[in-house]
A = this chain, B = another copy of it.
């Protein structure tokens, strides 16, 4: 956590430092990110930085916390409807909201990705000890209730598919952001719909489900 001195700063200066730091950690993994560059770009003295933050890690954890809060805020409304929808609909909304969040905060996504990449690095363990991979656990719970409700096959390896579903969220997001221009929400929803349909029915021809994913919803 930053020191009092940081929060005593005028809001604009706080925001400037925050933005510059976000850009730095979005561009470089933790070990590579440079405090020197941050202070230079934020136009503050090196000494001042260390009056705002304990050290580099302090800044980094602060950024992660802010990012986590932002994402939670973003997903809260969707999770609020949890009981009203079936499993796959809820999943669709979670994915769509997650991707939308990624589109609006690409640098946050970069930072999260770089964290995931740093598996094995000391900082990764430190972060994850307090986090315990919340996403995977959430999906595990959702999967189990979905199985109870008869919405999902009961013969699957729940932890494995929870892991897959959590990770695929990132995959679909990356693919969407990199390969599909943000033409509009229609594209996003269509992509997510197609993916959810895949989760539900697979890609095998045998399923014979109605291919209702294209243009079915506005």
Where the two chains meet, the residues of A that have a C-beta atom closer than 8 Å to any C-beta of B are 27, 29, 31-32, 88, 110, 113-114, 116-118, 120, 150-157, 159-161, 163-164, 167-168, 171-172, 175, 179, 191, 194-195, 197-207, 209, 211, 213-214
A204–B27 Cα distance when bound, in Å, is 39
Hey, which chain B residues are within 8 Å of A118, CB to CB? Answer: 117
A114 to chain B, nearest CB (A): 7
| Number of identical monomers bound together in the oligomeric complex | 2
13 pairs, A vs B, C-beta closer than 8 Å: A27-B120, A155-B211, A156-B194, A159-B179, A163-B171, A168-B171, A201-B202, A201-B204, A201-B206, A201-B207, A202-B207, A206-B209, A207-B207
A94 to B118, CA, bound (A): 27
* Known A-B contacts A120-B27, A199-B203; A171 and B167 likewise in contact (beta carbons under 8 Å): yes
